[in-house]
Amino acid sequence: MAEILDGRAIAERIREKIKQRVANLPSKPGLAVLLVGSNPASHTYVNIKQKACEEVGIHFEKTSYSATETEETLINHIRTLNARADIHGILVQLPLPSQDATRIIAEINPEKDVDGFHPENVRRLKAGEPAIASAVALGVMKLIGPRTGDAVIVSSPLFAEPLITLMKERRINAIVVDGDDPSLAQKTKTADILVVAVGRPEFLTGEMVKPGATVIDVGTTKKDGVLYGDADRASVASVAGALTPVPGGVGPMTVAMLLVNVLKAYDLQGKQFSDHASSEQQDEDPSE
């Protein structure tokens, strides 16, 4: 049976280190979140982030908007937050009901983009320059740990892009495969590291997994009040060498790495960011 990679336990250790570091800072880091619409999952995720910030001593500020709010209003708010010295991180909770997320995120100061989605952060990441990388990608890499080999990422290219860059730094050769690829199972069975993020409950079965592979399940889908991952846990666990659970795997790690990114943003804005800091953030942050 596969080793279960306990994201909660790792995240708890990271959060404790962050709490200690925040307590020793000359001022309190601040995170501002824009929450648009009434999507229950989005509200749940924001509440989790708020609780995590409060636990470690990061100032948290949430502004809620109706689903029909104009893009101009959101952009104006972001510009105000960009100018505030007490706000070091800005996050727009995705998905947005109908607004153009790309346009809105592009308005965030890249040094305050703690989700790592701004085009400039993506560019910097690829170039090996100081950057804030995607929190979920950093969380995935933390769970992969020292493991190496060939990786297959079953997801959209947008999700996979920062992950591929981080894997490349670890000398992990990665390819992206669409969830509807007709030869999907043939490709996933070549992976020493298999990341699945398609949002389809129990989509990945044991027959699609290489024996001994590390499977990182990013998917979360709620059915009848129960949270399911993209991997069929029973069949995958009988084949894989390691597997992240849902819940308790990537989710807690993503929140922990978001807190790390807030501290990165705080350092960056304080001109304390090392000239050698790159997308390999985990070597210079409290997650170590």
pLDDT at 216: 98
Q: How many CB atoms lie within 10 A of CB 211?
A: 10
With 90 as the cut, is the pLDDT of residue 91 above it? Answer: yes
Q: Please, what sign has the CA dihedral across residues 273, 274, 279, 282?
A: negative
Interatomic CA distance for residues 235 and 211, integer angstroms: 12
Provide mean pLDDT across the span 171-183: 97
Is CATH 3.40.50.2300 the right assignment for the domain spanning 28-111? Answer: no
Write down the pLDDT at residue 63. Answer: 98
Better-predicted residue by pLDDT, 155 or 272: 155
Q: Is 281 a catalytic residue?
A: no
**Whole-number average pLDDT of the chain:** 93
How much of the chain is helix, strand and coil, in % rounded to 5? 40, 15, 40
Q: Which of 17, 113, 115, 217 is an active site residue?
A: 115
Look at residue 185 and tell me whether its pLDDT is greater than 80. Answer: yes
Statement: residue 274 has pLDDT above 80: no
Task: Specify the CATH architecture of the domain 135-250.
Answer: 3-Layer(aba) Sandwich (3.40)
- For position 278, what pLDDT does the model report? 36
Residue extents of the structural domains in the chain: 28-111, 135-250
Task: Check whether 285 has a pLDDT greater than 60.
Answer: no
Residues composing the chain:
288
Read off the pLDDT of residues 48-85 as tens digits, 9 standing for 90 and up. 999 999 999 999 999 999 999 999 999 999 999 999 99
Average pLDDT on 253-276 reads 82
Looking at residues 135-147, what average pLDDT do you find?
Answer: 97
Q: Which residue of the set 93, 99, 281, 282 is catalytic? A: 93
Query: Comparing C-alpha atoms, which of 146, 178, 35 is closest to residue 94?
Result: 35
Question: Could you read off the pLDDT of 145-161 as tens digits, one per residue?
Answer: 999 999 999 999 989 99
Residue 193's Cβ-count burial label (10 Å; 0-12, 13-18, 19+) is buried
Q: Residue 113: what pLDDT?
A: 97
Is residue 217 annotated as a catalytic residue, yes or no? no
pLDDT of residue 223: 85
Query: Angle at CA 11, nearest 5°, toward 118 and 111?
Result: 20
Report how far residue 232's alpha carbon sits from residue 54's, in angstroms, rounded to the nearest whole number. Answer: 34
Q: 28-111 with 135-250: one CATH topology?
A: yes
Instruction: Specify whether 20 is catalytic.
Output: no
Please tell me the predicted confidence (pLDDT) of residue 288: 72
> One of 49, 112, 142, 210 is an active-site residue; which one?
49
Closest CA to 109 of 136, 130, 91, 134: 91
pLDDT at 271: 58
